[in-house]
Structure 1
Amino acid sequence: MAEKVTAGRDKLGEFAPKFAELNDDVLFGQVWSRESELSARDRSFATISALISMGAFEQLPSHLARAKANGLTQEEVSEIITHLAFYVGWPKAWSAFNIAKEIYKEKN
């Protein structure tokens, strides 16, 4: 079972309670917990790829940390970003690498 996420309530609970509820209970509660359909590792792979593609770098650190916890290695993340660079743009790859370097400072 996936860990209970409270980031929505912690950061937006008072300002946007419904959004916080959907974030914590639906996205991270119901969707991320469907590991028989798609593993947490694979969900992390898809999520970081989507965030990099969109240039959503504010959300990338927490999702890269989750990807690391879900078993994606530094080498795999590096390869994902390198591959995406050709499809989403070199500047996005550079930005993603700078964030990934911070997350993977300490080797597993």
Structure 2
Amino acid sequence: MKKQTAGRDNLGDLAPQFAALNDDVLFGEVWARESQLSAHDRSMITVASLMSQGLPQLEAHLKIAKENGVTQEELVEMFTHLAFYAGWPKAWTAFNLLKETYK
């Protein structure tokens, strides 16, 4: 996975410690533990969590998921399944973001 700089780029001036934890620990250390869990699987889990919560970070993580080899078909199946557990409107939102990400 490429080096993440979103924390520093977006919050570095306001919250430098939070930005460093985001970039260096979350994305630098946790996401790098591919012998424990692949980037593909981490993306699937992350997208499922964000979709379930209805969080705007879903859009960015769909792009990361695509880079990590998650297919549109896998995400369609995930969102269809999660619609019954997380909520129908959240699934609609997720599908619309998916269409934009994979067009």
TM-score, normalised to structure 2, is: 0.98
3-state SS in 2 of match to 1:81: helix
- The aligned amino acid for 1:77 is L
Q: Which runs of 5+ in 1 are unaligned?
A: none
Question: Which residue pairs with 1:83 in the alignment?
Answer: 81
| RMSD (Å) for aligned C-alpha atoms | 0.6
> How many residues of Structure 1 are paired with residues of Structure 2 in the alignment?
103
Tell me how far apart the structure 2 counterparts of residues 68 and 77 of structure 1 sit (CA, whole Å).
10
- The aligned amino acid for 1:93 is A
Question: Which residue pairs with 1:71 in the alignment?
Answer: 69
Q: Which runs of 4+ in 1 moved over 4 A?
A: none
TM-score, normalised to structure 1, is: 0.93
* CA deviation after TM superposition for structure 1 residue 52, in Å: 0.5
Question: Which residue pairs with 1:38 in the alignment?
Answer: 37
- The aligned amino acid for 1:13 is G
Q: Aligned to 1:59, which of 49, 57, 60?
A: 57
Tell me how far apart the structure 2 counterparts of residues 71 and 3 of structure 1 sit (CA, whole Å).
14
* CA deviation after TM superposition for structure 1 residue 95, in Å: 0.6
Of all paired residues, the percent bearing the same amino acid is 65
Post-superposition Cα deviations, 1:11-35, rounded to whole Å, max 9, x if no partner, equal 0000110110000000000000000
* CA deviation after TM superposition for structure 1 residue 62, in Å: 1.0
Any residues of structure 2 matched to 1:86-101 within 5 Å, and which? Answer: 86-101=84-99
